[in-house]
Amino acid sequence: MTHATLVDMESLRTKLPRLAGEYASAQPFPHVVLDGVLTQDAFRQAVAEFPAIGDPFWKGYLHVNETKYGNTQPDTWGPTLNAVAREFVSPEFVTFLEELTGIPNLLPDWTMDGGGLHQTLRGGHLNVHADFTTHHVKENWSRRVNILLYLNDEWREEWGGQLELWDSQMTAAQAKVQPAGNRMLVFTTSHDSFHGHPDALTCPEGMARRSMALYYFTEEASPVRKATNYRARPDESASKRAAIAVDRGAVDLYDRAKRRLGISDEQVSGVLKKVNLLRRRTKK
């Protein structure tokens, strides 16, 4: 077994019994926040390597329910970012996640289906949602665990971007996670593990909320496919609720098309953007 050199596994394993208890009892769904996941040198180098805002490998997810950018191609990342991701899919780290979450036989996904590097710019948002439930290519893979590693050198609370964790009935956010640098959120993915940062970021121009996301699956005989399920918050207007619902329907349609026809994320994002523009014109 190759031992991690960038992820501080010694510290994580020392804390594992306590962390597993916190994870199981957390509300509104199983989760835990881990600080100092990377060694300090690895974190500094990962931040330095994070692709610039204008990097050509970013692809936009720009529609009603989200305005963020992703890079799902680890071969285009710097060597430290690539090596960190490889440690997150290593048997050592996967075993740690199994013991932390209580979910056996987890399968890491180097194809980065929905994962990879993410950035959200000033004014960007991600509406509250539960994630898609099955892998788009390996359809018998059921999505079980998310990890989000924040790679912000600086992130002030007044800039927003706290990840809100909502209860299954969407009555209230029961936890909020500040996207502080070298902090990881681990949580169980289910049809009602609602989360997001729905308010527009107010960070300075030229800055971004930055993270690395990886997802873990289990192989199931008949997993239930659900597309990303965006939801409105209780205090949102009727018009915003309607826009979220229309966009959610479009996301479900193109989730099906992506699976059956193999269309790309870029094509999906482009159509969703056109749906958003058409909705705005119709309202005028």
Per-residue pLDDT tens for 94-128?
A: 999 999 999 999 999 999 999 999 999 999 999 99
Q: Which letter, b or e, does each residue of 233-255 get, where b requires 16 or more Cβ atoms within 10 Å of its Cβ? A: beeeeeeeeebbebbbebbbebb
Q: How many Å from the N-terminal Cα to the C-terminal Cα in the chain? A: 61
Delineate the domains of the chain, giving CATH numbers in brackets. Answer: 9-226 (2.60.120.620)
Instruction: Report the distance separating Cα 167 and Cα 120, nearest Å.
Output: 24
Per-residue pLDDT tens for 40-49?
A: 999 999 999 9
CB 189 within 8 A of CB 143: yes
The structure's pTM equals 0.92
How many C-beta atoms surround the C-beta of residue 261 within 10 A? 9
Q: Exposed/middle/buried for 89, CB within 10 Å: 0-12, 13-18, 19+?
A: middle
Per-residue pLDDT tens for 193-213?
A: 999 999 999 999 999 999 999
Instruction: Report the distance separating Cα 205 and Cα 193, nearest Å.
Output: 31
Pull the structure tokens for residue 270: 């482009």
Per-residue pLDDT tens for 51-98?
A: 999 999 999 999 999 999 999 999 999 999 999 999 999 999 999 999
Give Cα 231 distance to the centre of its chain: 16
